[in-house]
Structure 1
Amino acid sequence: MPPGSVMTFGPHACSSAAGFEHEWLVTDGTGGYATGTVAGLRTRRYHGLLVTPQRHLALAALDPVVTLPGGAVVRLAVHEWASGAIDPAGHHHLEHFELADGVPRWRWRIGEVVLERELAMTHGRNSVAVVHRLVAAPAGVSVELSLTALCTWRHADAERDRTSGPPAVAVVPGGFTVDGAYQVNGPDFRPIGEWYLDAYAREEAARGLSPVEDLWAAGTFQATLVAGGTVSVSAFSGDLDSPPPAAPVVVADARRRARKLLRTAATAGARDGVDKALALAADTFIVTSPDGSPSVVAGYPWFGTYLRDTMTAYEGLFLATGRSEEGARLLRAHRDLPTRMRAGALHDADGPLWFVHAAERHIARTGDTDLATELLPVLEGVIAAYTKGTSDGVRVDPADGLLLIDADESGLTWMNARLPRGPITPRDGKPVELNALWANALGAVGALRERCGRDASVVHARRDAVKAQVVKRFRAPDGWFFDVVDAQPAAYPKGGGSVHDDAVLRPNQLLAFSLPYAPAADEAHLRSRVLDAVGSALLTPLGLRSLAPAEYGYHGAHRGGVVPRDAAYHQGTVWAWWLGPYVEARLAAGLPVDGLLAAVEAHLTESGLGSVSEIAEGDAPHRPTGAPFSARSVAAVLHARAVIRENRKLQTASSGKNEKMKLARDAAPRKRRNALR
Structure 2
Amino acid sequence: MTNLEEALPRELLRTNRSGAYSCSTIVDCNTRKYHGLLVVPVPELDDENHVLLSSLDATVIQHGAAFNLGLHKYQGNNYSPKGHKYIREFDCGRVPTTIYRVGGVILKREIVFQHYEDRILIRYTLVDAHSLTTLRLRPFLAFRSVRQFTHENMVANRDYQLVDKGIKTCMYAGYPELYMQLSKTNEFKYQPDWYRDITYPKEQERGYASNEDLYVPGYFEMNIRKGESIVFAASTSEIKTSALKALFDEEVNERTPRDNFFHCLINAAHQFHIHEKNGDRYILAGYPWFKCRARDMFIALPGLTLSIEEQDYFELVMKTAQRGLTEFMEGKPLTVKIYEMEQPDVPLWVIWCLQQYAKEAGTEKCLKRYGGLMERLIKFIENGKHPNLKVMENGLVYTDGRETAVTWMNSTVNGKPVIPRTGYIVEFNALWYNALKFCSAMADLSGNKKDAAHFEQLAQHCKQSFVDVFLNEYGYLFDYVDGNMMDWSVRPNMIFAVALDYSPLAQEQKKSVLDVCTRELLTPKGLRSLSPKSGGYNPMYTGPQTQRDYAYHQGTAWPWLGGFYMEACLKLYKRTRQSFIERQMVGYEDEMNQHCLGTIPELFDGNPPFNGRGAISFAMNVAEILRTLELLERYNFNSGEETK
Could you say which residue in structure 1 is the equivalent of 2:222?
223
Check whether the contact 2:498–2:514 (CA below 8 A) recurs between aligned residues: no
Q: CA deviation at 1:388?
A: 2.8
Whether contact under 8 Å (2:352, 2:435) holds in the other structure is yes
Counterpart amino acid of 1:480? Y
Corresponding residue of 2:96: 104
Superposition deviation, residue 305 in structure 1: 0.5
CA separation in 2, counterparts of 1:172 and 1:395?
63
Q: Percent identity?
A: 28
- CA distance in structure 2 between the partners assigned to 1:245 and 1:575 by the alignment: 47
2:469 is equivalent to residue 470 of structure 1: no
1:406 deviation in Å? 2.0
> Secondary structure of 1:505's partner?
coil
Q: 1:114 aligned to 2:106?
A: yes
Q: Superposed, which structure 2 residues align to 1:403-482 within 5 Å?
A: 403-455=397-449, 456-482=452-478
How far does the alpha carbon of each residue in 1:579-633 deviate from its partner, in whole angstroms, 9 at most, with x for none? 1101000001115123112111111111111101110111211111001111111
Q: CA deviation at 1:247?
A: 3.6
Q: Hey, what does 1:386 align to over in structure 2?
A: 381
1:90 equivalenced with 2:83 (yes/no) = yes
Hey, what does 1:196 align to over in structure 2? 195
- Between stretches 207-216 and 402-411, larger displacement belongs to 402-411
User: How high is the TM-score relative to the length of structure 2?
Assistant: 0.91
Aligned to 1:47: 35
Q: Which residue type is aligned with residue 94 of structure 1?
A: I
Distance 1:620 1:244 in 2: 51
Equivalent residue letter for 1:208 = G
Aligned length: 614
In the TM superposition, residue 167 of structure 1 has moved relative to its aligned partner by 4.4
Secondary structure of the residue that 2:150 maps to in structure 1? Answer: coil
Q: Is 1:178 the counterpart of 2:170 in the alignment?
A: yes
Paired residues for 1:147-162 under 5 Å: 147-162=137-152
Matched-pair contact (CA < 8 Å) for 1:402–1:469: yes
Q: Provide, for residues 498-531 of structure 1, a one-character-per-residue CA deviation record: whole Å limited to 9, x for no partner.
A: x3221210110010011122332xx222222222
Counterpart residue number, 2:302: 315
Correspondence 1:275-294 to 2 at 5 A: 275-294=262-281
8 Å contact from structure 1 (residues 121, 251) kept in 2: no
Moved more, 579-588 or 164-173: 164-173
2:559 — aligned with what? 576
**Counterpart Cα distance in 2 of 1:14 and 1:245:** 36
> Matches of 1:244 and 1:465 in 2, distance apart?
68
Tell me the TM-score normalised to structure 1 length: 0.87
Aligned to 1:213: 212
Structure 1 segment 211-360 matched on structure 2, within 5 A: 211-237=210-236, 240=237, 246-259=243-256, 273-336=260-323, 337-341=325-329, 343=331, 346-360=341-355
Distance (whole Å) between structure 1 residues aligned to residue 443 and residue 634 of structure 2: 26
- Cα distance change, pair 116–451 in 1 and its aligned pair in 2 (3 A): farther
Instruction: Identify the residue that residue 21 of structure 1 maps to in structure 2.
Output: 9
Structure 1 residues 589 and 210 mapped into 2: Cα distance closer, same or farther (>3 Å)?
Answer: same
**Contact 1:105–1:116 (Cα < 8 Å) also in 2:** yes
Q: Quote the Cα distance in structure 2 between the aligned partners of 1:290 and 1:384.
A: 34
Q: How far 1:243 sits from its partner (Å)?
A: 6.3
Which secondary structure state, in structure 1, belongs to the residue aligned with residue 610 of structure 2? coil
Aligned with 2:407: secondary structure? coil
What letter matches 2:199 in structure 1? Y
**Which protein has the larger Cα radius of gyration, Structure 1 or Structure 2?**
1
Q: Indicate the residue corresponding to 1:673 in structure 2.
A: none
The DSSP-based 3-state class of the residue aligned with 1:585 is: helix
Partner of 1:594: helix, strand, or coil? helix
Shift of 1:291: 2.9
Counterpart residue number, 2:335:
none
- Give the partner amino acid of 1:303: F
* Structure 2 gap ranges (5+): 42-47, 333-339
Match of 1:162, SS state, is coil
Is the 1:342–1:390 Cα contact (8 Å) retained in structure 2?
A: no
- For the pair 1:524 / 2:517, whether they are aligned, the reply is no
Q: 1:15 touches 1:94 (CA, 8 Å); kept in 2?
A: no
Q: Is residue 358–residue 365 contact of structure 2 (8 Å, CA) maintained in 1?
A: no
Question: Counterpart of 2:492 in structure 1: which amino acid?
Answer: P
